[in-house]
Amino acid sequence: MSSESFEKKPPALDQAKLMDQIDSEKTELKKLEPGQTRLDQTKKYLIDFSWGVAKAASGTALGITMISSSILAGGAVGLAISFRNLPDVRILRSYVPSETNYIYDVKGRLLTSLHGEANREIIPLEKISPDLKRAVIAIEDSNFYEHRGINFSSVGRAVLANYRSGGVSEGASTITMQLVKNLFLTTERTLTRKLAEAVLAIRVEQVFTKDEILEIYLNNIYWGHNNYGVQTAAESYFNKSATDLNLAESTVMAGLIQAPEQYSPFISYKATKNRQSSVVDRMATLGWIPSEEVAKTKKEPLLVGKPTAWKASRLPSITEAVAAELVKIFGKERVLKGGLRVQTTVDMNFQRMAEKSVTDSHRMLRSWGVKVDQVALAAVDPRTHFVKALVGGVNYKESQFNRAIESRRQPGSSFKPFAYYAALVSGKYTPSTVVDDAPVKYRVPKGWYRPQNYGGKKDLLGKMSFKESLIQSRNIPIVKVSKQIGLDKIIRICRELGIESPLQPVLSLPLGSIGVSPLEMAGAFATFASNGWHSKPTLILQVTDSRGNILLDNQPKPKKILDPWATATLTTMMKEVITNEKGTGKDANIGRPAAGKTGTTSSERDVWFVGYVPQLATAVWVGNDNYESLGKGISGGKHAAPVWRNFMLKALKDEPVKYFPAASNFPRP
């Protein structure tokens, strides 16, 4: 109620007549009880409510005035309107409050939490500390288990206290009334809102048990510092679950409800202890704790935690990528409010190793005189297509742009394996097929297209095997081959391999003239590594709701999409990119069977190395965000391959050596 309700002197009333009218209403309602409707029952409670106010007010003009204004005047018109327009409290049966989402690494270690304004985790009533339940009821509504939504005697006391103070000095809200106010109503302090609160409280008590009401209440109220609900509040204030709170901690928590920030131990430990003392004294007065516990509880020091609502992620580049993937699957609102439990495919220690490897390699490249600002890396397990590492740049604090998934840069010759596979699977080419590394030109819409090798117009080798053209990364032969087998076929294969970036059937396509992301390249090469078995790369292993129900299960469901002979043959050819003396990727040699391809774009703006072993496929990109040249003579073989090598040596340290299947094991297309 607003203080304005008490500023004018109430008019004189015939008190006896009004009391008779109330008694008459009660008598009539008693006659309806055998076939009583909820509206009738609610009306009965409101008459009881008015009688309680009058009785507490000892028949004063104030008491009678409050009854007349709130029940007789407001009741006749206001209740009729209220019953028609107030929300149906039965929706609480299906009400799901916003909850915090939690993201874990593959071993179950918490990486971060995602939420909007409300940081909340739902916990069943039976798992909440008994001390906390008693403390909250004691200080907020000690008659909670006795009333039916409205505590009549408390209303009377509040009316008198507010009248004497000339304002709103004391409330009379029960836990049920607080709940409906938080969920259904505004916070304005008016008689109309208070009447609606009373009506809704009665309705809630008709539909729900006391334990159900208390559980909803404890999981919804605000506890300070963006913590909504008792579980996240307990974790924030005391680094423990609400299940494990002791009496001292419970009385602090209960005291916070009235003014969370004012009594927060993060703001004023003294104010916290003073408020705690009030709660302890109330519990002692009620006889809910033994006298010997009073002083002990007040003196017990508090091991205070720290705010957790906006805690930084332990792997920000991973959790941001996961959040983006969740939004695509579940929608933005569900991600912010859905109470999701997300297990990622990434091991926290492995990711940190990858980040350090990229940082160290960047430092190494700079020491070599390479004008490089950024390095990005993506690693995928070919057996599952689970993402194992994503490093979006050299320093996340300086730049949050994740180049491993968000940046599309020209892959240069590292794109050639898609064209080579298309040629092999066509049945028209084998590793020994002769191709001609000689000048050629093609009519295009704006003139002529003349592909050139890395060394320029004079860099020509003439007749050579199909395999040698890949090992030495010759441009002219693969353009000729791609034109002969069809550029659309190459694009179709890229789509099957999961490359979603825009692709155009232009003659320069096999030379990597289009932009792709490191993750797209790692995922596609992972399918080569698995000899043609493909799944969509993902950062998410499983998603459940807060009750453990599985919402998304990304257990591997690979499909055979590539021809095994063509794939095994391509892998054999790419192994020699690393092991052959003339191979462009000699600096990627890790001392075990591995296959890969270098990539260098014109003007040395982007250099790549993408390679794999049976257990891991990794793409490395080196370049500058402003597309400036890395420097004359910079190449994927000399400057990206060493970065790949440094990472793979660490990544495979505890992995056994495995071998690729031989092409001779499969029939040729």
Nearest to 10 by CA among 74, 77, 68, 75: 68
Cα(451)–Cα(472) distance, integer angstroms: 16
Tokens of 239: 């680094």
Please report, to the nearest 10 degrees, the dihedral formed by the alpha carbons of residues 605, 607, 608, 609 taken in order.
180
Cα(446)–Cα(429) distance, integer angstroms: 31
5 is known as an active-site residue: no
Nearest to 511 by CA among 582, 430, 608: 608
Q: Which residues lie below 8 Å from residue 426, measured CB to CB, with a gap of 6+?
A: 485, 489, 669
Give the count of alpha carbons within 13 A of 162, CB side only. 24
DSSP 416-433: HHHHHHHHHHTTS--TT-
Nearest to 167 by CA among 6, 3, 10, 4: 3
Tokens of 68: 């007349």
Helix or strand holding residue 140 (H, E): helix 130-140
* Extended strands (E) in 115-181: none
Where do we find the tokens 């040395």?
604
CB contact at 8 A, 99 and 238: no
* Cβ count within 10 A of residue 40: 13
CB contact at 8 A, 134 and 119: no
Cα(414)–Cα(630) distance, integer angstroms: 18
Q: Which residues lie below 8 Å from residue 459, measured CB to CB, with a gap of 6+?
A: 452, 453
Tokens of 382: 């070919």
Tokens of 241: 């679950």
140 is known as an active-site residue: yes
Cα(493)–Cα(486) distance, integer angstroms: 11
Name the catalytic one among 413, 414, 473, 535.
413
Where do we find the tokens 């996961």?
322
Where do we find the tokens 């441009």?
475
Amino acid letter, residue 288: W
Nearest to 281 by CA among 303, 244, 302, 254: 254
Cα(587)–Cα(589) distance, integer angstroms: 6
Name the catalytic one among 140, 205, 215, 468.
140
HEC assignment per residue over 307-323? CCCCCCCCCHHHHHHHH
- Positions annotated as catalytic residues are 140, 413
